[in-house]
Structure 1
Amino acid sequence: MLNNVPMVRAGDVLLVCFEKQQTQADTERFEAELRDCLPGVRLAFLEGVTGLAVFRPDDQPTDPDM
């Protein structure tokens, strides 16, 4: 059921994509909430596209059981 959900952990970069431009207040509120829920995860916001992606630096293990 959750095969397509990206798993995020400390050290990853979460790319958050919005279809339309967000207000500064909405972006700051969203970022604060994500930082509380995902400590150690860096965030990047993009506009003009939708979806989520996770970038894991090469030195991070990719095995989800680690």
Structure 2
Amino acid sequence: MIQVLKQLRDMGNTVLVIEHDVEMMRAADHVIDMGPGAGSFGGRVVAEGTPEAVAAVAASHTGRFLREALHR
């Protein structure tokens, strides 16, 4: 799936994926973490940027998952 999405991007397409899979997020060019929680507890940008940049944001729950994945 990741390879297909990269092929679409490389063809000049904008690809937007809402995903919680860590491998998919690690392969992304840009991640936007909305939160800090779900539903009425969310709705603001907690972190955005490369997966590495999001991983560096202590307040980001997504960043925590990315930090763990980047250190495997």
Q: TM-score range by the shorter chain?
A: under 0.3
TM-score scaled by length of structure 2? 0.23
Higher helix content, 1 or 2: 2
More contact order relative to length (CA 8 Å, sep ≥ 6): 1
TM-score scaled by length of structure 1? 0.24
